Structure 1
């Protein structure tokens, strides 16, 4: 089975699952609101879901890389053929994948360049089902490496993708704060309680509970930590993102690694910055003015008996209601554009796909800036909607076989005009707010 066909199958499953994910997010929000335990904020939820959409959009370009390398490794290096017709073939492959996923996940926390991709998933300061969708757009570049043992063992690409999807879909439900401890289940499987620990920055919780489906891997390899009532999880990263911009979320750590590698003098250190644990710095950078008090890797952060000192005010800028309404409206349209983009993936030219990708990514970046109350964001958004209206006017009036039907032209024109009006109204209400002063990073790894 060809990698492009398998990739299309994977994208189809994720596309079909997305409405279910969104419905469950709505249910969790309603349930939490009714119980007086709401775990959602509009700005953070839009960012999380938007990062998930951007991950899928970027996957049209990157996923074929990982699948292509896996398929090539299977074809060239497989020592045996996996007996796919046997009743145990799928369960055994799923167990094999989950074992590799444990080491993949652990690797993403212990190697700086891998953390640069994975940090996206940990950047939310909330914990709810929308957090599960907060995925990286760059993970495919190196994410295939930990799964090469499966290719060498003969697991065919189609079966590999099947078990990868099962593992991924399972992990959606464990990103909830509304489900408590589950007794014996918590001792065997990854669960909401176990995974809340994984997303926390409390000293005792840092870099624990990597398991995807099974938590027994953590118990076997010394990375398990149960959730404790006396130490409630504090979510996010040691060095908070403090942004709702998906481009900053995806590229921020890469940019910092690049800056550090240019600043340090020795060539060996330039390489080590990328492969050492997150937060490691060479001597010349660690001694520079303004360097972090400690650049110890995450695994050496001291454990404490009480609440971690990283308890802090969440990044939650106040923006006018008109801005929130406009951002929600535009975000819904961008989700529709993302679904349309995924349908184009198999037929459109590379140039068209790149243009759509740039439009979606930059639009989400502007929406994020709006939700931050960033200076100039409202004017940028008004300009963006005006450009869309102008381009759409050209498209609607374009003659020939690609001309839009009247009903489509009327509908799209109405949405574009409504977007301009909404952006203008939002811009009138905006008073730029200063960016909050970042909370000092506690001693330990600056992650």
Structure 2
């Protein structure tokens, strides 16, 4: 197990412990900062980003290592304290410009938007990460390779910068005085996630907010204008695949409809929200309304609990997937990845309260039971003993019975309410 995997292994239970603590503190203060469907969607997107990382890590880190080997100006030692400190500062500066570009260039926003779609602001939002950021994000860190920071140094400081940002995603920590003037803090990052005019496209720093002060993008949270979260083009879905694809799809449609070839290119490079005049005229979009009703489809308590339990089971499978990443054939890994991503998408449809979500969930449970029944094993474990096979079949079968009972109960309740 490499350094990166060790850090992630230790950090994951800490994340969930802090989420539990945030829930407890919010309850004691009489505040509701979590909605179950939103949190499941955010955590599911985090799972998908980690699944994608398994396949993309070799590419991105391979490019970095190749650039260090071929183009490094200096041979910086990995055992020097100043190299590590300067690397962390340099990485944070590169992150600032990546983050800023992610808000100012539409094709980069198409990846970064995932992190901003939640209309809640809590620690689960921190884990809501893109699956497509790998496509272009690596370009912004190549200056570190050219200077000569070793790959192992780059990997660790990248994780430090990422892990630091987890705790700033909360409404329960107020102003922190001098700390807010130097570092990215909950107050500063709340402003960053807000769609209010005052806060839009500000506070990009990862660890240091000093970069924003230097480059003119800092704004202070104002108690008279509380942050409202989400995006100006709301997602209005719990489907993690659509969450990753929505801006790419909208931009591709605008590029297709644009009459001028120049506009077909500019729509990808201009800031988010920019549209060619002819496209905006023929295909108008509704104006942004900051007072819009938040997306929160009604879901019975029983289905809510069912969704949480099923997500917990999928989360356990995702942990197993990450553990198997270096041990199983690529075909098995791809198959397991597809199963997990589609399962999370089905769960999204179910928690939206859509009728088709129930049918898709029954199909998912059928497939989940069929794998051990027909193969005598599971992904990455081709041969299991009889007791484990029985358990793997019993769980989705029992889930199907529970889902059927909940569906009938909900339908009966709605029918009696209609009368």
Q: Which SS does the other structure have where 1:249 is aligned? A: helix
Which stretch has the larger CA shift, 104-113 or 265-274?
A: 265-274
1:49-79: CA deviation from partner (whole Å, max 9, x where unpaired): 1111111011111222211111111111111
Conservation of the 8 A alpha-carbon contact between 1:378 and 1:426: no
Q: TM-score, normalised by structure 2?
A: 0.94
- RMSD of the alignment, in Å? 1.9
Q: Choose the corresponding residue for 2:148, options 141, 149, 154.
A: 154
2: CA distance, partners of 1:395 / 1:430: 35
* 1:402 to 1:316, Cα distance in 2 relative to 1, 3 A: closer
Question: Partners in 1 of 2:84 and 2:247 — Cα distance?
Answer: 37
Is 1:333 matched up with 2:327?
no
Deviation at 1:289, TM superposition (A): 4.2
Matches of residues 58-69 of structure 1 in structure 2 within 5 Å?
A: 58-69=52-63
**Contact between 2:77 and 2:150, CA under 8 Å: does it hold in 1?**
no
3-state SS of 1:341 partner: helix
Matches for 1:35-46 after TM superposition, within 5 Å: 35-46=29-40
Cα offset for 1:311?
2.8
2:111 is aligned with 1:130: no
Stretches (4+) displaced over 3 A: 291-294, 429-432
Q: Which residue of 2 aligns with 1:51?
A: 45
2:192 pairs with 1:198: yes
Verify the 8 A CA contact 1:110 1:277 in the aligned structure 2: yes
TM-fit CA distance, 1:291:
4.4
Q: Which residue of 1 aligns with 2:304?
A: 324
Q: 2:182 aligns with which of 182, 185, 188?
A: 188
Aligned residues: 410
Contact in 1 for aligned 2:191/2:219 (Cα 8 Å) = yes
- Distance in 2, matches of 1:284 and 1:43, equals 38
CA distance in 1, matches of 2:58, 2:20: 32
- 1:13-412 equivalences under 5 Å are 13-291=7-285, 310-396=290-376, 402-412=382-392
| Structure 1 gaps, min length 5 | 295-308, 433-447
Please, what TM-score do these two structures have when normalized by structure 1? 0.88
Cα deviations by residue, 1:117-167 (Å, 9 ceiling, x for unpaired):
100000000001110000001111111011111011001111001100000
Tell me the residue number matched to 2:402.
Answer: 422
RCO higher in 1 or 2 (8 Å CA, sep ≥ 6)? Answer: 1
Distance across 2 between alignment mates of 1:370 and 1:334: 14
Q: Which moved more, 1:90-99 or 1:348-357?
A: 348-357
Gaps spanning 5+ residues in structure 2: where?
Answer: 413-419
**Which stretch shows the higher mean deviation, 283-292 or 118-127?**
283-292
Hey, what's the Cα distance between the residues in 2 that align with 1:12 and 1:367?
Answer: 30
